[in-house]
Structure 1
Amino acid sequence: MTTDSRERSDTNPTRADGVIAPGGGLLWAERAGAGSPVVLLHGAGMDSRLWDAVLPELVRHHDVIRYDARGLGRSTAPREPFSDVDDLRAVLDHFGLHRAALVGLSMGGETALDFTLAHPGRVTALALVGASVSGHDWPESPELSAYAAARRARDTAALADLELSVWAALGRRAPGGELIGTMVAANAERRVVSEQHCVLSTGRDAEPHLGEIRVPTLVVHGVHDHPEIAVIAERLVADIPAARGETVPDADHYLPLRTPERLTELLLSHLP
């Protein structure tokens, strides 16, 4: 039975759940707030704590769900191939939501795009933050080559160091730096296992099909993010018919922790 989140009380307490993942295992999820439904999706090597600084204000206006992707944070590790798109569908179904807005960072943005193309009737709006997109041809670079080598070697210490140097360019002294370091260290080994089992369930890359997306779309990236993220953001704005772009100063890839006030302002003005 589908639940309309608008019927939820403003006093509804935070609810943490274990969502049964397709094929087995549990996805840790949390729901709070009231209003139109919004699902927050974090990036690779992170977990749902990415949204800690955005959540308090967002739940004052929306029914918000955040969850740890398969094998990351408090979710159980995969033992067989899985799809982030199928996991997102399981989260929506678990909470009785037929439709929701999706806010995704990096890998979470990629999942949001893939899900929207696979299930267009279930998405009311998109907010893509420092998003990647399936099918994008990343140019070769020394840092990304080192990243790939660390993955192949399952060198989790090197992977964590590269995550911070490549994607958290503003460093530990910038806002959110301590939590970013904690998340990266906690998830370095877990992400290697998770990424080895992750598959693209839709059977097609999103980049050639961006013109099929028909929901209002906000594309946000930080000035200090990896340069290719800006390239992807430009492509998303150009190819998605109902998209608009915003560039945020003083932010790298971890934008929700670097500049939470600005991101919250942008989200609240965009989400239905």
Structure 2
Amino acid sequence: MRSNGDLAGIPTHEFHLPAPGGGRLWAERSGTGTGSPVVLLHGAGMDSRLWDAIVPELARHHDVIRYDARGLGRSTPPDRMFCDVEDLGAVLDHFGLHTAALVGLSMGGETALDFVLAHPERVSALGLVGASVSGHAWPQDAQPSAYAAARREQDAAALAELELSIWASMGRTAPGGELIETMVEQNAHLRISGEQHLAYFPDRVAEARLGEITAPTLVVHGDRDHPEIGVIAERLVASIPGARGRLIADADHYLPLRTPGPLTELLLEHLR
């Protein structure tokens, strides 16, 4: 553990915790220790800097933990197969949390959904932000083929360009643009290597089991996100009992950096 000083006046500490099967996960804990716990999960090709604009206010009310997924950001690259759901469980265990609220974007939302279905007793609430979901059939168009080609050829520059053009369509001059560009470019090579070791479970089909989820759920996406994220959001709201859906204006897939204020308001209302 290493102290990071204060984050906007909030006590913050940095950790390098053991990952299942070897390696280390970088994590950060922010808050006074009195609020209910919230774990933030970022998307593919990103890292926990995605939440930079959200953490300060969220940590004034909650015990906030964010971590870099295996092989991204400051977490160590994997050298064997790993499971993202097991990694999330290890984070909760390390901090002594039997239950916590999970807020996940994109891949992080998918991990949160898989985790709550595997361990419903450990999740107090869900915040799904521009979330994907296992078992969803994505349209077969040119985009998946381009991603597959970039991975196959280990072309980090092409992968970063795809990520930015498709998912950060509002561009560099929009709020958070410089950080988004930096984060994506720094993680592109790590992503190619790390995804080769991410275990695939064909029986994970959260989309077909959404009706089993009992945790209070908020589903949020931006009006300028990829159209299929809107399709998934509608399905999540329709299928998860009691789920509430919210659309935020002027935000693409990187909603926590594009419109942190409106998103923070929604999360604080949901998690109180």
Establish whether TM, by shorter chain, passes 0.5.
yes
Q: CA deviation at 1:193?
A: 1.1
Deviation per CA, 1:42-93: give whole Å up to 9, x if none. 0000000000000110000000000000000000001111011000000000
Contact 1:110/1:131, CA 8 A, preserved across alignment = yes
Contact 2:38/2:64, CA 8 A, preserved across alignment = yes
Contact 1:114/1:202, CA 8 A, preserved across alignment = no
Structure 2 CA distance for partners of 1:175 and 1:145, relative to 1, 3 Å = same
**Structure 2 gap segments, 5+ residues each:** 1-8
Which residue matches 1:177? 177
Q: Which runs of 4+ in 1 moved over 2 A?
A: 200-204
Q: CA deviation at 1:226?
A: 0.5
Correspondence 1:120 to 2:135: no
Contact 1:156/1:188, CA 8 A, preserved across alignment = yes
Structure 2 CA distance for partners of 1:144 and 1:203, relative to 1, 3 Å = closer
Which residue matches 2:62? 62
Which residue matches 2:13? 15
CA-atom RMSD in angstroms: 1.3
Matches within 5 A, 1:226-237: 226-237=226-237
Matches within 5 A, 1:83-122: 83-122=83-122
Which residue matches 2:39? 39
Structure 2 CA distance for partners of 1:265 and 1:188, relative to 1, 3 Å = same
Report the residue type matching 1:15 in the other structure. H
Which residue matches 1:217? 217
Report the residue type matching 1:250 in the other structure. D
CA distance in 2, matches of 1:214, 1:24: 33
Which residue matches 1:150? 150
Q: CA deviation at 1:13?
A: 2.3
Contact 1:211/1:241, CA 8 A, preserved across alignment = yes
CA distance in 1, matches of 2:225, 2:42: 16
Bigger mean CA deviation after superposition, 242-251 or 144-153 = 144-153
Bigger mean CA deviation after superposition, 127-136 or 196-205 = 196-205
Contact 1:85/1:201, CA 8 A, preserved across alignment = no
Output the TM-score relative to the length of structure 1.
Answer: 0.94
For these two proteins, the number of residue pairs brought into alignment is 262
Contact 1:126/1:217, CA 8 A, preserved across alignment = yes
Report the residue type matching 2:255 in the other structure. L
**Structure 1 gap segments, 5+ residues each:** 1-10
Report the residue type matching 1:206 in the other structure. A
